[in-house]
Amino acid sequence: MKSWLKRYLPGVALCALVAVGSSLIIHAIATPDPAKPATGIDASVYASDEKGPQAVAWSFAETLKKARRSVVNIQVEKVSKTPAGMRQIPFPFGPFGQPDPDDDGARRSRGAGSGVVVSAEGYILTNNHVVEDADEVSVTYFDGRSTKAKVVGTDPATDLAVLKVDVKDLHPIDFANSETVEVGDLAFAIGNPLGIGQTVTMGIVSATGRGSMGIIGVSNGNAGYEDFIQTDAAINRGNSGGALITADGRLMGINTAIVSSSGGNDGIGFSIPVNMARFVMDQLIANGKVQRAMIGALLQDVDDSMAKALGMDRPMGAMVNEVMPGKPAQKAGVQAGDVITKVEGREMRNQSQARNTISMMKPGSKINLTVNRDGKEISVPVTLAPLDDAAAEAPRVTEEAAGMNGVSVEELSTQLRRQLRIEDDVEGVLVGRVAPASKAASAGLRRGDVVVAIDRQPVRNTADFERLMKSSKGDATFMQVKRATQGRGWTNLFLGIER
């Protein structure tokens, strides 16, 4: 018997101990501690207001808090009147089918966008297309306050506008230097997409210096000024006029447009550089308008074959197509065929950058151009003149309403005729650019074509071109062009371009 106890007693004791322990555990689970929540969770564990060190290290919340207070939602109202002959049932009729004598054809429409507070005095930057033709503009701030805003001035050539509000306790944003922005920099877009309220998205700077996009249309006979920062931070309708922010919370650009196959965000958004925006803003506040400078020359990009022909190591700079009589370029000795490679020592990528750089300088100031002439670089001092709205310094670009978005045309100057060997009796306009994704490109229109007729009506200049494109009816435009064909000279070609 004793040997049996010695053999099995330790096992029996262990089983008894496990049974007692299990009952205590079950009792503890089944009987909640009155000092703790009924869920059994100790809330004190979650009571800390501090983030963990890893969450803080990977969060941009603190950086963006100040910038978010500077971005506002903009609401606009427009009143339009429909001519009596164009009013449709049931609008002009009362409840019994009779004409309503009180109906004057006025209809109110609403829109929304974004803006950025740029000074404690109440100035706000936004896009011209957000407030254009608005009868009433109101602003909603980050804290929920709303006030009316006054349009101080607009600049359609850059699609910028400045508003003014009479409000205290504003939070103006800090400015970055957009010249230092590089591809790969972090970027945050802040705005009011689709009217849902303030939203922050993150991406990177995808490209800089995007010009000649045809996004900003013609203003006073001149093509728009484009030098966009491209980003993949999500931008949608309603983001227009909002802020593109650096990783340290400063304003690098004003969000303006997207390229999209669906109408929504495809990861290709464009922002006006803050340096250009400040140039426009300062002049609108001080003078109510923007005064730009010019040299008086028509410019074009230099492609690879042109660079090789000129003995340049790569395509860059702005080719001078034509020097306008009596303007600064002619007085300084600039010649057609020169390539402007630098402005005040700063290298120029293309004609768009050269034009933008010169336009943002002070009229009357003397600058130094570096030009490539016959394979040699020479320095040419030029005294800038105020830009005359009637004198275009770049190919005129058709408006989107003309059905030719992405196409630029220019008039056939004597220099261009000589360069392209176009006979003097050929009238028309030269196609300078065709966007690859445009309907015109799909129809076969090419850079270098000469448009001589639209819907069988002759085209003599850019004004004819725009007028005829706007008046063209139907689903497609019938266009006659002349195209240089090797061995055959200039030959006729007919195109049907969908609208």
Residue type at 254? Answer: I
How far apart CA 383 and CA 371 sit, in angstroms, is 16
pTM above 0.85, yes or no: no
In this prediction, residue 308 carries a pLDDT of 83
How many Cα atoms sit within 13 Å of 57 on the Cβ side? 3
How far apart CA 254 and CA 266 sit, in angstroms, is 18
What sign does the dihedral 192-196-200-206 (CA atoms) show? negative
How confident is residue 356, by pLDDT bands cut at 50, 70 and 90?
Answer: very high
Among candidate residues 396, 19, 439, 17, the one with its CA nearest the CA of residue 219:
396
Cα 445 to chain center, whole Å? 26
Cα 220 to chain center, whole Å? 20
**Long-range contacts at 274-277 (CB < 8 A, ≥ 24 apart):** 274/175, 274/176, 274/177, 274/178, 275/177, 275/178, 275/179, 276/158, 276/178, 276/225, 276/227, 276/356, 276/360, 277/125, 277/158, 277/160, 277/253
Selecting among 240, 271, 359, 472, the annotated active-site residue is 240
In this prediction, residue 400 carries a pLDDT of 42
| Contacting residues for 185 by C-beta, under 8 A, at least 6 apart | 204, 205, 246, 247
In this prediction, residue 248 carries a pLDDT of 94
Q: What spatial distance separates the first Cα and last Cα of the chain, rounded to whole Å?
A: 108
In this prediction, residue 355 carries a pLDDT of 92
pLDDT digits (tens, 9 = 90+) for 91-146: 333 333 445 555 554 566 788 899 999 999 999 999 999 999 889 999 999 889 99
How far apart CA 415 and CA 131 sit, in angstroms, is 41
Task: Select, from the ranges 3-17, 54-68, 88-102, 115-129, the one with the highest average predicted confidence (pLDDT).
Answer: 115-129
- pLDDT of 49 strictly over 80: no
Could you tell me which residue, 384 or 408, shows the higher pLDDT? Answer: 384
Among candidate residues 278, 250, 242, the one with its CA nearest the CA of residue 142:
242
Other CB atoms within 10 A of residue 395 CB: 23
Could you tell me which residue, 266 or 213, shows the higher pLDDT? Answer: 266
User: Tokens 């002439």 sit at which residue?
Assistant: 373
How far apart CA 110 and CA 77 sit, in angstroms, is 5
Give the residue-averaged pLDDT of 216-234: 79
Selecting among 129, 206, 232, 301, the annotated active-site residue is 129
In this prediction, residue 359 carries a pLDDT of 93
pLDDT digits (tens, 9 = 90+) for 394-412: 444 444 434 466 788 888 8
Could you tell me which residue, 40 or 275, shows the higher pLDDT? Answer: 275
pLDDT digits (tens, 9 = 90+) for 458-475: 998 888 888 888 888 777
How confident is residue 14, by pLDDT bands cut at 50, 70 and 90?
Answer: low
In this prediction, residue 217 carries a pLDDT of 65
In this prediction, residue 155 carries a pLDDT of 93
- pLDDT of 449 strictly over 50: yes
* 27 part of the active site: no
**Two structure tokens written together for 392:** 């275009």
Give the residue-averaged pLDDT of 338-356: 93
| Domains along the sequence of the chain with CATH | 64-80+106-290 (2.40.10.120), 293-386 (2.30.42.10), 396-498 (2.30.42.10)
Burial of 53-65, coded b for 16+ CB within 10 Å and e otherwise, reads: eeeeeeebeebbe
In this prediction, residue 81 carries a pLDDT of 52
Which residue intervals of 273-427 are DSSP H helices?
A: 274-287, 304-309, 328-332, 351-359, 414-420
* 240 part of the active site: yes
Helix (H) or strand (E) holding 440: helix 439-443
pLDDT digits (tens, 9 = 90+) for 476-496: 788 888 887 765 677 788 788
How far apart CA 334 and CA 15 sit, in angstroms, is 104
How far apart CA 229 and CA 223 sit, in angstroms, is 19
Selecting among 70, 155, 159, 212, the annotated active-site residue is 159
Among candidate residues 413, 400, 422, the one with its CA nearest the CA of residue 466:
400
How far apart CA 488 and CA 485 sit, in angstroms, is 5
pLDDT digits (tens, 9 = 90+) for 264-311: 888 999 999 999 999 999 999 999 999 999 999 988 888 887 788 788
Could you tell me which residue, 438 or 450, shows the higher pLDDT? Answer: 450
Task: Give the gyration radius of the chain's Cα atoms.
Answer: 33
* Percentage of the chain exceeding pLDDT 70: 77
* 129 part of the active site: yes
Average pLDDT of every residue of the chain: 81
In this prediction, residue 92 carries a pLDDT of 35
Cα 491 to chain center, whole Å? 39
**Two structure tokens written together for 156:** 């359609």
Residue 232 · residue 268 · CB < 8 Å: yes
How far apart CA 48 and CA 168 sit, in angstroms, is 34
